[in-house]
Amino acid sequence: MIRVGIYGATGYTGIELAKVFARHPQVEIKFATSDSYAGKKLSDAFPCHFDIPLIAHDAAPLNEIDVAFLALPHGASTDYAKRVLDAGARVIDLSADFRLHDAAVYKKFYGLEHHAPELLLQAVYGLPELHREQIKQSKLIANPGCYPTSVILGLAPLWRANATNDTIIVDSKSGVSGAGRKPTQTVHFVEVNENLSPYNIGRVHRHLSEMEQELKAVNPKASLIFSPHLLPVSRGILSTMYVRLGDADGWDENRLRQLYTETYCHEPFMRILPSGQFATLTHSNYTNYCTISIHHVAEVNQAIICSSIDNLIKGASGQAVQNMNLMFGLDETMGLL
């Protein structure tokens, strides 16, 4: 059995971890933390059937675990990651604290000095479809952001094939759980319900930094415009990406489809839809799948790629468990199908 600890168990991703672990035959939860609910149970903090006792973050018995999942806000994860690593256990961090290789880029996008820049080069960006072999060897996984998971998986085949040098337009929509559990005015029911709101559009959203980091590792010339929107649903992300293809390269829908099918044919959580179907939230919600649809607009030689995930599963806790399975030599799909 793998002995796990959950930091931040009362947040949306922490609760989703508890749900995945309940189905996982090789996991034993050794502790779950929350400062505001310490001394209570998870079922006191959220309507669920998990009577897992909650303890304060600082009371976590680190000598009892093999791996800690940090479901904490960015900025808060770094110090707990150091403690866990010093105690000899591994870390899967769901926050943005270890996703960027460069502390200066972290400061630019997150407005914080990084407390452990020396760990940034050790951390592996936990997207199994791109970095599976490094994940298996890693002690510190930076679990990707939710938008970036949908976007990078949707674009990786085209980047690798050098199919474009143009700026790619990414239009993403997210359910409200993507903003976490802490209430703010922008996620108030009245502001969200029967509405659709763009926010941080252009090149300012924090997730742009990790998307371009991964993109530029494959194709240094490529760049993105990223326009996220808040959708009045609880969960799910749909990213629609507009890619101007190289004219000399003879692209058509069949060739695009072949590229995506060949890239992802051995991936357990990637689904490419047949011609004429479009990815929707329903294809992926409540699963660890990423669903992709492909459309070619011949008149302007553009690909339109739609990519859907569940932000709390493939976009967070499911992917974190997929990473754990790889790190501990288990079947990658264990607990996730």
Catalytic machinery residues: 146
Which residue's CB atom is positioned nearest to ligand NAP? Answer: 11
CB of 269 to ligand NAP, least distance (A): 16
Extract the tokens encoding 138.
Answer: 């890693």
Closest CA to 153 of 267, 256, 273, 290: 290
Q: Site map for ligand NAP, 53-82, x if CB under 6 A? A: ----x-------------xxxx-x------
> Closest approach of Cβ 167 to ligand NAP, in Å?
25
Which residue among 4, 13, 283, 289 contacts ligand NAP (CB under 6 A)?
13
Least separation, in Å, of the C-beta of 193 and ligand NAP? 19
Q: How far is the CB of 23 from ligand NAP (least distance, A)?
A: 19
Report d(CA 288, CA 269) in Å as an integer. Answer: 6
Residues 81-100 within binding reach of ligand NAP (CB under 6 A) = 94-95
CB atoms within 10 A of CB 47: 7
The smaller minimum CB distance to ligand NAP, of residues 238 and 273, is found at: 238
Shortest spacing between CB 10 and ligand NAP, in angstroms:
4
Residue 35 touching ligand NAP (CB under 6 A): yes
Distances (CA, A) of 44 to 28, 38, 54, 67: 21, 11, 10, 25
The yes or no reply on residue 147 touching ligand NAP (CB under 6 A) is no
Query: In this structure, are residues 143 and 93 in contact, taking their beta carbons and an 8 Å threshold?
Result: yes
- Which of 285, 311, 322, 325 is the binder for ligand NAP (CB under 6 A)? 311
DSSP state of 185: G
CA distance 96 to 111: 12
Tell me which H or E stretch contains 159: helix 146-160
Shortest Cβ 42–ligand NAP spacing (Å): 10
Q: Dihedrals φ, ψ of 84, to 5°?
A: -65, -45
User: Taking the chain, what is the end-to-end CA distance rounded to the nearest angstrom?
Assistant: 19
Which region among 58-66, 161-169, 172-180, 260-268 touches ligand NAP (by CB under 6 A)?
A: 172-180
**Among the listed residues 5, 145, 228, 335, the single contact to ligand NAP using CB under 6 A:** 145
CA atoms within 13 A on the CB side of 301: 11
Structure tokens at 302: 């553009």
Integer-rounded Cα radius of gyration of the chain: 20
Determine if 126 is a binding residue for ligand NAP (CB under 6 A): no
List contacts with ligand NAP (CB under 6 A).
8-14, 34-37, 57, 71-74, 76, 94-95, 145-146, 177-178, 180-182, 311-312, 315-316
